[in-house]
Structures are given as structure tokens and as C-alpha cells.
Amino acid sequence: MIVLKPITPDRALIFKAVRLRALQDTPSAFGSTYSKESQLTDDAWIERSANWSNDRSTGYLAFDEEQNEEERADAYCGIAASYLNEQNPQKAHLISMWVAPDHRQSGVGKILIDAIERWATHRGAHTLLLTVTSSNHPAIAFYTRLGFSMTGNTEPYPNDPALIEYEMSKPTP
């Protein structure tokens, strides 16, 4: 069974390990890079996790209880976070979405997005926004199945000028 655990300072090093795995597995899915984030100190990860667990932002780690009894970093199989738009808090942004390859197409991604949607709705957001790179066809199909649609807004992907980031949105329940 998949259990979501909030990203908090006491899970900062687990958050670090999962995020670095995600950056290595799917580098073009994130606005940052493994080489940049692997240089962050543990204190920076603790601060980052605190910033992701407040009234305006949240993050979740997906933990597979069936395969693991201990809370080891490799027992975590997904991550997702969200924050409220600074200028318009009725919009929430989904960021850092990743599911481990051995857990893809098993429902983990939907569990993470459902939790983000509940959080965003509880905070008064009416729209959930995300960006996805033009080369990430499986993610685009996944988000479309969950009710996201292209907004028409695009921007260059910062880490590779050959790629474009598409914005997708979905009304919150």
C-alpha cells in the first residue's frame, strides 16, 4: 500500500535522496539539475523541506509499505509538491512530480496528484497548473488522462534550448 508522507525537516535527508534519484532518472522533467542539487548541504535540504511545508506550499513523498517496513530512502517511490501563486492564490502550481520507474502505471502518480488537489482546494485554489517538457510524452498523456489540458502557454526549457515547456491546467474539485 502506498502511503503519503509530508516533506518536513525531519524527512529532509529522505527528501534529498528521493529528489536526487528523480533528477538522475528523468533530468529533463525538472527545472533544476542533479549536478546543481547534489551540491546542496544537508542544512540547505532541511531549510528547503521547511519551505515546502507551510501554509502556502506542501510536498509529499510516496512510501511503499508493502515492499518495505523500514523508512529507508529507497523505500520511497514518488514525490510531488505544490505552492500557491504569489499574485493569485486561487492558482496552485504542481512541481517536482516524479514516480520511480518500477512504480509507474501503478496508481502512485494519481495518489500524489489527488493529494495535491485536496491541499490546493483546501487552500482556496481553483486551478492547478504545471509545466511539462515537450519531449515527455508519457507525462503529457498521464496529465491529460487526469483532466489537465494545454493552456497554450509555452516557454523554453531552461536546461535545454531544444525543448519547450508546455503549461497545463486543471480546475480543482
Q: What is the pLDDT of residues 126-143, one digit of tens each?
A: 999 999 999 999 999 999
* pLDDT tens column, 21-74: 999 999 999 999 999 999 999 999 999 999 998 999 999 999 988 766 666 767
161 in a domain, yes or no?
A: no
Q: Where are the alpha helices (DSSP H) in the chain?
A: 12-25, 34-37, 42-51, 108-122, 137-145
pLDDT of 73 reads: 65
Nearest by Cα to 8 from 53, 43, 44, 62: 53
Q: Show the cell assigned to 135.
A: 519531449
90 in a domain, yes or no?
A: yes
Contact (CB, 8 A) for 138 and 91: no
- Range of the structural domain that residue 58 is part of: 2-125
Contact (CB, 8 A) for 35 and 21: no
55 in a domain, yes or no?
A: yes
41 in a domain, yes or no?
A: yes
Average pLDDT over residues 117-121: 97
The number of distinct structural domains making up the chain is 1
pTM as predicted: 0.94
* pLDDT tens column, 139-158: 999 999 999 999 999 999 99
Average pLDDT over residues 118-128: 97
Q: Residue 9 corresponds to which amino acid?
A: P
Which 3-state string (H, E, C) describes 38-77? CCCCHHHHHHHHHHCCECCEEEEEEEECCCCCCCCHHHEE
Is it the case that residue 103 has pLDDT exceeding 70? Answer: yes
Q: What share of the chain is helix, strand, coil (3-state, %, to 5)?
A: 35, 30, 30
62 in a domain, yes or no?
A: yes
User: Can you give the CATH number for the domain in which 29 is found?
Assistant: 3.40.630.30
Q: Show the cell assigned to 132.
A: 511539462
159 in a domain, yes or no?
A: no
